[in-house]
Every structure is written in structure tokens, then in C-alpha cells.
């Protein structure tokens, strides 16, 4: 059986490496749950023992792109996953679907597994333009409704389940679909057991070790 994917999106936290290491203490994958930690870029090479993902990347392999990180750099650093198209990137950095599409193609080419975040069905079509069915086998999709991100108001199970089914009918059942938006230890299990998601993308609660360990135990 496929493991439940539990992705921790630390966003721009914490401020020090010592804190980052502290958060990680006691957090482990087990037979049922695969934990992927997505810290800020700076901490990626410094966190040992965790399966790692990046929160973003550029689409070119190398070159004159000040301030950017390439898929190859991530791959060579042992990073396996990359979150792409997060709503905060779409909102604060004006990432458009064409950009996300380029990033997805570059990530797949480099052998990274993209975790594509969407909040509307219409985004999927444009984000995935030109990506073959075969390549889609390496994708993970995270359904993250805007109103639920960081608000404490998670999406209703009914609506989330509807979206999950719709996405899987469109993309194929081989693509794991995660739910993200105000997940905590109290509601995490419902999205797996009752709404049928294959995993979760957790923001705020992933910075609280006790809460995050509780999520691992309960799902
Ligand atoms: P949240 O964030 O769990 O804090 O709502 C989720 C996300 O943005 O991925």
C-alpha cells in the first residue's frame, strides 16, 4: 500500500538553524506515513535525516538569474520534492500559470517530484500544459483552497472530497492528491479517512513539533 504523504511547509520559518533542528527532533516517517520537510532553502543542506522538499525553484538549470535556485542544485543536494505554485507564490510574486508550467517541466526533467498546489480546477489545465500522462506519474497535487490557508477555517470535508474526486478523474488515480489548509491534529485524520486524500500539506501546525507528531500518530 502507498504511504500517506505528510508534507511540512515551513514557509519563511524559523529564524535560526538551532530552532529548525529543534522542530525536527522526534519527527520521523513510519511504516504508514512518509514525512517530507520543506524548510527554507538555507536549511536544506543542514538538516540531516529528513526527507526534504524545497518550497520553490527557478526553471533554468544555471545562469544569470540573480537570487534564484535551480532544479539541479536541489537535486544535487539530495532534495526529492519541490512545492510549486503555492498560493503565496502566485499572490506575492505574481507567479503565473505559464511560469509554473515551466517550473513543473524543469523539476520533472531534473528528477524532482513536484507538489503542485492549486485552489481552482482551471489552474490544473494551464499549469500542466504539455506534460504527458507518463510524466504526470511523478506529480503530487495539493488542493489548497485560498480561504483555508492559515485562517484556522479548514475546507468542509464534503467540498474537499468533491475536489479530490474531480482532480483524480481528470488526472488519473495514480496521482496522489493532498489536502492543505488549516490542518491540525484534530482534523487531519478526517481528510484521509473520510475525504479520501492520499496525504496532507501542513503549514502552521508543522512548526509545532508536538502538534505535528500528533498528526503523524493520528492519520
Ligand atoms: P496552513 O498552511 O496549514 O498554515 O493553513 C498550509 C499551506 O499554506 O500549505
Q: How far apart are CA 93 and CA 170, in angstroms?
A: 28
The pair phi, psi for residue 84, each rounded to 5°, is: -130, 145
What is the pLDDT confidence band of residue 63, given thresholds at 50, 70 and 90?
A: very high
Give the closest residue to 40 by CA, choosing from 72, 65, 8.
8
pLDDT class of 1 with cuts at 50, 70, 90: confident
> Looking at ligand 1, which residue's alpha carbon is closest to its atom 7?
203
pTM over 0.95? The answer is yes
User: pLDDT digit string (tens) for 171-205?
Assistant: 989 999 999 999 999 999 999 999 999 999 999 99
Position 48 scores a pLDDT of 82
Atom 1 (ligand 1) nearest CA: 203
Q: Which atom of ligand 1 is nearest to the CA of 9?
A: 9
Mean pLDDT of the chain: 96
pLDDT digits (tens, 9 = 90+) for 133-150: 999 999 999 999 999 999
Amino acid at each position: 500500500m502507498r504511504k500517506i504523504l505528510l508534507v511540512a511547509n515551513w514557509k519563511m520559518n524559523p529564524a535560526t538553524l538551532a530552532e529548525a533542528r529543534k522542530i525536527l527532533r522526534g519527527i520521523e516517517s513510519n511504516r504508514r506515513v512518509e514525512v517530507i520537510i520543506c524548510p527554507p532553502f538555507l536549511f536544506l543542506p543542514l538538516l540531516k535525516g529528513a526527507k526534504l522538499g524545497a518550497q520553490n525553484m527557478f526553471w533554468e538549470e544555471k545562469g544569470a538569474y540573480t537570487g534564484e535556485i535551480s532544479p539541479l542544485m536541489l537535486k544535487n543536494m539530495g532534495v526529492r520534492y519541490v512545492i510549486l505554485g503555492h498560493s503565496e507564490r502566485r499572490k506575492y510574486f505574481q507567479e503565473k500559470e505559464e511560469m509554473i508550467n515551466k517550473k513543473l517541466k524543469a523539476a520533472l526533467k531534473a528528477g524532482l517530484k513536484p507538489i503542485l498546489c492549486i485552489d481552482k480546477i482551471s489552474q490544473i489545465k494551464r499549469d500542466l500544459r504539455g506534460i504527458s500522462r507518463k510524466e504526470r506519474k511523478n506529480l503530487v497535487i495539493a488542493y489548497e483552497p485560498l480561504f483555508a490557508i492559515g485562517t484556522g477555517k479548514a475546507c468542509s470535508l464534503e467540498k474537499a472530497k468533491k475536489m479530490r474526486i474531480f482532480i483524480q478523474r481528470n488526472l488519473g488515480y495514480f496521482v496522489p492528491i493532498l489536502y492543505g489548509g488549516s490542518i491540525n491534529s484534530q482534523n487531519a485524520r478526517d481528510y484521509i479517512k473520510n475525504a479520501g486524500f492520499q496525504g496532507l500539506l501542513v503549514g502552521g501546525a508543522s512548526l509545532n513539533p508536538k502538534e505535528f507528531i500528533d498528526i503523524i500518530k493520528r492519520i
